[in-house]
Amino acid sequence: EVQLVESGGGLVQPGGSLRLSCAASGFTFSGYTMNWVRQAPGKGLEWVSFISTSGSFTHHADSVRGRFTISRDNAKNSLYLQMNSLRDEDTAVYYCVRDTGSNPRFDSWGQGTLVTVSS
């Protein structure tokens, strides 16, 4: 069974930093591209970041580019999101998401971790 378990969320002040982690199990982690997708309270879903299987290629949404960095450790079956210069509008549940296909569909999701940016 595919499992994605996020951790690292919490309350942080504007301008602060946070590192999210996602532990993957039940599949060959190194064989899949991965993403972070977020959902602000009461709002729709927003794709945040993508990383290739090896980690050599990454892509971020304009809203987080230059502030967030996605990375992975295939030896540890783990995905990360380093979030710096956090803003109020980054408050959201962050999901670790596996994708599949050349035109990707998000086929497995973690339970999410809540990040709250507030003073």
Residues that bind other proteins (CB under 8 A): 44-47, 50, 59, 61-62, 95, 101, 103-107, 109-112
Nearer to other proteins, 103 or 119 (CB): 103
Nearer to other proteins, 62 or 119 (CB): 62
d(CA 24, CA 2): 8
Nearer to other proteins, 113 or 117 (CB): 113
Question: Least distance to other proteins from the beta carbon of 7, Å?
Answer: 15
Provide the 8-state DSSP code for 27: S
39 residue type, one letter: Q
Cα dihedral across residues 72, 78, 82, 88: positive or negative: positive
Nearer to other proteins, 16 or 21 (CB): 21
DSSP E strands in 64-112: the ranges are 68-73, 78-83, 92-100, 105-109
d(CA 72, CA 46): 20
101 residue type, one letter: G
Provide the 8-state DSSP code for 75: G
